[in-house]
Amino acid sequence: MNMLEQNLGRKTMSASPGLWRRRSRLQRVTATLLPLLRRPGFSLALLVVVFSLVAAIAPHLLSSFDPYATSPVDKLRAPNLIHWFGTDELGRDLYTRVVFGSSLSVLSAFLAVGIALLGGLGLGILSGFAGGRVDAVIMRFVDVLLALPGLLLALAIVTAIGFGTVPVAIAVGIGIVPGFARTTRAEVLRVKTLPYVEAARLGGASWGRTLLRHILPNAWGPVAVLATLDFGAAILATAGLSFLGFGAAPPAAEWGTLIANGRHFLITAPWVSLLPGLFLVAVVFSLNHIARTFEETQR
Amino acid sequence: MSRYLIGRVGQALLVLWGAYSITYFILYLLPGDTLSIMLSASGMEADSLSVEDLAKARAYYGLDKGLFEQYFDLLLGALRGDFGQSLSLNRPVADLLAERLPQTLSLAGLAIVLSLLGGIGLAYLTAYLRWQPLKKTLARLPSLGFSVPVFWMGLLLIQVFAFGLGWFPATGSKGVESLVLPAITLAIPSAAVYAQVLQRSFQGVWRESYIATAYAKGLSRGQVQARHGFKNAALPILTLIGLQVGNTVSGAVLVETIFARSGIGRLAQEAVLRQDIPVVLAIVSVSAAAFVLVNLLVDLLYPWFDPRITHTPKVS
């Protein structure tokens, strides 16, 4: 991507003699990212994810159609050069609907993972840090949550707090809290006993400072991988719930609702449900691929 | 051993009780107005009722009692197998469950068998192959497997095998043929998980020294993999089977909705759509019970599969 800049940067660095300096954060990030970007699979996956993020923030940039404009003349057209994904039963451009739908889907996935991160990190740090009885109680609670199948727990929560994009996101988020809590606890327990934590404590740092500056940054890696993985899982779960009919009310479109709507035209117009689904698969697969690549490089 | 058994069963019961309590809390205490949800589920408007009627309805649903009394009534009922009345269908929930359960059990059973066959087969093949490009492709396949939404896979299979080729019926719950497509759909995510874990554990096993010994004895590659590699690599699968029960139950909700099968999952979807609280509570508890039971069985079977593991008291 920025090969030229990178090469230039290296030259200027080697050209300037003098003291060794610690590399800046940006340099360290580019140094780890560049070899990854040279892998075609990783760049492609990143491109798909960036595309869906851009679609979520500024859908107007990616499509010139109006997602709600119906034109009965063009209904159920097969994919062609004007309508890339074809049109649905009301003649709306499906590609545009998918692009505009990503704002709801990506937003709810962010909300779900945010809840899971907050709750999971909180519970995990508390139980890994406090130990003893607190740890035992929290972990039993997590065990119980793990025994409830994810989708059914989400269904119960949706029954209680109602339908819609935000309730579904909350329900999915609560469903993935236990996994985060476990991973965070395991990492905190691992890092807590390392020499540099003792050194920091002996150096006079308070527990809060030790936690924020020494333990969290080092326990963060596996949790970040899990967050990327669960971002994909959250997209799948919210899509599943909105497929079942508990998501956004029409005419707003989430990816799951788009697939669900297309079901009725499966014989005559299979693309109406299959193409939005293919896009969803591409996004989730890319997220999984990115998470796996990070996991491999961390080892 | 018996001490371990009692402890493990006790723990399972405790988890089950916790799962029931959490679900009860979510369904009965989280909504601002449980009564109006229940009334609308049974087809009445809370606003149109007089104060006396509301009080009567409250007493009818048992909402007028104290919090703990309500909870213990429900819990004792559930222990006796009585999950109350469905609000929208006006039938005992236990009857509904008993009626729908065989459908889901056969679907889930077939799906678990298929996922084991598919997952283990794929990983076995990946470990056996030596042509790198194909090996790499097969190693990537599992992560595609759990990136595909269950409901989309179902639609794709319907499109290809029911509408395109006409091999299987698209929907319905009659006969064995109607079971094939749903079971395959449900099996794919679990199969992907098994395949991924087994592929990794094969990678680890190939480096062990007993593999070198087996080769030195003069066994062929196929024999080494079957007798020495597979047995050691397959152990983690057993734990995973227990954990995948939850995913299978979750998937059943989606699969049964797509294929219009009348099982527990479909019942769950309908119950949530009508906000039929007792039915949702019963289904969640039953599936939690299935999860806990299968995991208990897996734990107890472990020493039988792997004699190195004994249930001596361990430090935790």
Q: Mind giving me the DSSP string for B199-218?
A: HHHHHHHHTSHHHHHHHHTT
Q: How close does chain A come to B201, measured CA to CA in Å?
A: 15
**Hey, what CATH class is B94-305 in?**
mainly alpha
**pLDDT attached to residue B111:** 92
**Tens digit of each residue's pLDDT (9 = 90 or more) over B250-284:** 888 899 888 888 888 888 888 888 888 888 888 99
pLDDT at position A1 is 46
What letter does residue A59 receive in the DSSP assignment? Answer: G
Q: A255, A265 in Cβ contact below 8 A?
A: no
- The answer to whether A241 touches A55, Cβ cutoff 8 Å, is no
Chain A positions in Cβ-Cβ contact with residue B159 (cut-off 8 Å): 266, 270, 274
Whether the CB-CB separation of B117 and B109 falls below 8 Å is answered with no
Separation of alpha carbons B105 and B110, rounded Å: 8
Q: What is the pLDDT of residue B121?
A: 92
Q: How confident is the model at residue B80 (pLDDT cuts 50, 70, 90)?
A: confident
B178–chain A nearest CA distance, Å:
18
A241-292 confidence digits (pLDDT tens):
888 888 877 777 788 888 888 888 877 788 888 888 888 899 999 988 888 8
The C-alpha of A163 sits at a distance from chain B's nearest C-alpha, in angstroms, of 9
Q: What is the pLDDT of residues A189-214, one digit of tens each?
A: 888 888 888 888 888 888 888 888 88
Residues in chain A predicted with pLDDT less than 70, given as ranges, are: 1-18, 298-299
Give the residue extent of every domain in chain B.
2-79, 94-305
Structure confidence at residue A4 (pLDDT): 52
How far A244 CA lies from chain B's nearest CA (Å)? 7
* Interfacial A residues in 263-292 facing B (CB < 8 Å): 263, 266-267, 270, 273-274, 277-278, 280-281, 284-285, 287-289, 292
Question: Can you give the pLDDT at residue A299?
Answer: 57
CA B268, CA B280: separation in Å to the nearest integer? Answer: 6
Contact across the interface for A285 and B258, Cβ inside 8 Å: no
pLDDT at residue number B312: 57
> Residue A289 gets which letter from DSSP?
H
Going by C-beta distance under 8 Å and a sequence separation of 6 or more, which residues neighbour residue B68? none
Structure confidence at residue B114 as a pLDDT band (50, 70, 90): very high
Could you read off the pLDDT of B209-229 as tens digits, one per residue? 888 888 888 888 888 888 888
Angstroms from A11 CA to nearest CA on chain B: 37
- Say yes or no for a CB contact (<8 Å) between A140 and B31: no
pLDDT of res. B116:
92
- In chain B, alpha helices (H): 2-24, 34-41, 51-60, 67-79, 93-128, 132-145, 150-157, 177-206, 209-216, 221-223, 230-233, 235-258, 264-273, 277-305
DSSP-assigned letter for residue B5: H
Cβ contact A274–B156 (<8 Å): yes
Count, residues in chain B: 316
Instruction: Give pTM, 2 decimals.
Output: 0.82
> Mean of the pLDDT values across residues B189-218?
87
Asked if the Cβ–Cβ distance from A147 to B30 is below 8 Å, we say: no
Neighbours of B308 (CB within 10 A): 7
Q: Which of B245, B269, B270, B272 to mutate to test the interface with A (most CBs of A within 10 A)?
A: B272
ipTM topping 0.85? no
> Average pLDDT of chain B?
83
Residue B21, both tokens: 């309590």
pLDDT at A16 (0 to 100)? 54
Which residue do the tokens 């009394």 mark? B69
Confidence at residue B32, expressed as pLDDT on a 0 to 100 scale? 66
The answer to whether residue A176 neighbours chain B at the CB level (below 8 Å) is no
Chain A's closest residue to B162, CA to CA, is: A267
The answer, for A178 touching chain B at a CB cutoff of 8 Å, is no
* Contact criterion met (CB < 8 Å) for B26 and A157: yes
Contact B27/A151, CB-based, under 8 Å?
no
Instruction: Confirm or reject contact between A142 and chain B (CB < 8 A).
Output: no
Q: How far apart are CA A206 and CA A209, in angstroms?
A: 5
φ/ψ region of A58 (left if φ > 0, alpha if ψ in -120 to 50, else beta) reads beta
**Chain B contacts of A147, Cβ < 8 Å?**
15-16, 18-19, 246, 288, 291-292, 295
**Rg for chain A, CA atoms, rounded:** 23
pLDDT at residue number A71: 74
Rounded CA separation B242/B247 (Å): 10
How far does the CA of residue B246 sit from the closest CA of chain A (Å)?
Answer: 4
Disruptive mutation site among B8, B16, B17, B26 for chain A (greatest number of A CBs within 10 Å):
B26
Q: What residues in B contact A246, CB-CB < 8 Å?
A: 272-273
Contact A144 B146 (CB under 8 A): no
